[in-house]
Amino acid sequence: MKSIRTVLLAAAAASTSSLAYSADAVVAADPEPMEYVRVCDAFGNGYFYIPGTETCLKFSGYVRFDVQGGEALGRDTDLDGDGDAFDARSRSLLRIDTASDTEYGPLKTHTEIRFNYHGGYAGPNYASSGYDAGTDIFLYQAFIDFYGFRVGKGESAFTTYTNYAGNVIQDWVTKYGPFETNFIAYNYDNSNGLTGVLSLEDDRGEGKGYMPDFVVGIGYSAGAYGVKLVAGYDESMKEGGIKARVDGSFGGFSAFFMAGWNTDGDRGPNRFAAWSGDYALWAGVSAPLAEKFVLNTQLSYDEADNFAAVANVDFKVVDGFTVTPEVLYMDNFDRKDADAWGGMLRFQRKF
């Protein structure tokens, strides 16, 4: 009897112990919700919020391959100024943009990094192409935008305010202004067509003292038409340049005319008036040929009787991928009145 009582007491104790452990059992906590990337559409397509912040981030860019040849565009293997072999070059470009709202308006940054490869000698025909022999990586743009002010590194306002000289690739044959520079600029836009710019720019060590170069511009657009005027002063040469531009669009068809004047062309080009002589002229047209084809042209001429004609066709294979054949004709351009032809083919995938 005593043994039965002992067994029952042991069983009761075991049951009580089991209930106690059951009461104190650890319950697994619910997993914390994962923070997925949120789309930020306040500043345009492609932005997303950086997790844990209210700053929006965007990546974009392109991968490009060019092959070109002819006297005007080929590789200059014998260093006589004429292209005598085919040339190929590649580029990968990465843009990084950030944006956030503040009590004073948007705060933005823009960075552009270029990765270039050029397989041969970068002779005279590549002086302004941005491609050196071999591989190079360089910071092309890095600036901050806030409350109309823009500070950092980028392209000169003398170039960007009136835009590039058409939609052709070789738009630089008759040069229309400088590109890379450090600057402090203010951009005005009244949202009713009136715009302006004032920019203080680094003269890249060419001058003495503390005075920067400066650019001032004003413009107005109404519907399909626009006009802009910009002036730049080269502190080193105590001279400058002025450009005026008129744009118009008619459905899918668009055209522009631009004229530049050097304050003293007899002294030669300055930082802003980069053309030859007192004046230079540019004109161009873009027109759709079919659903996936657009024709782009440009003509340019300066007082030194340099003339260039460029034409291409942008073929949009699929969204984001374009193939562009282009042809260039040059006359004079330090060639002792000789003319030259060149052609190129570009493959570009934007993202």
pLDDT digits (tens), the chain, 351 positions:
445 555 444 544 444 444 444 445 555 666 655 667 899 999 999 999 999 999 999 999 999 999 999 999 988 777 776 788 899 999 999 999 999 999 999 999 999 999 999 876 544 444 334 455 678 899 999 999 999 999 999 999 999 999 999 999 999 999 999 999 999 999 999 999 999 999 999 987 665 668 899 999 999 999 999 999 999 999 999 999 999 999 999 988 999 999 999 999 999 999 999 999 999 999 999 999 999 999 999 999 999 999 999 999 999 999 999 999 999 999 988 655 588 999 999 999 999
The single-letter code of the amino acid at 60 is S
Structure confidence at residue 125 (pLDDT)? 43
What is the model's pTM? 0.86
Structure tokens at 214: 């400066």
- CA pair distance 330, 332, nearest whole angstrom: 7
- CA pair distance 338, 76, nearest whole angstrom: 17
CB 210 within 8 A of CB 152: no
> What structural domains does the chain harbor?
59-350 (2.40.160.10)
Q: Residue 192: count other Cβ atoms within 10 Å of its Cβ.
A: 9
Q: For residue 70, what are the contacts with CB-CB under 8 A and spacing of at least 6?
A: 83, 328, 340, 341, 342, 343
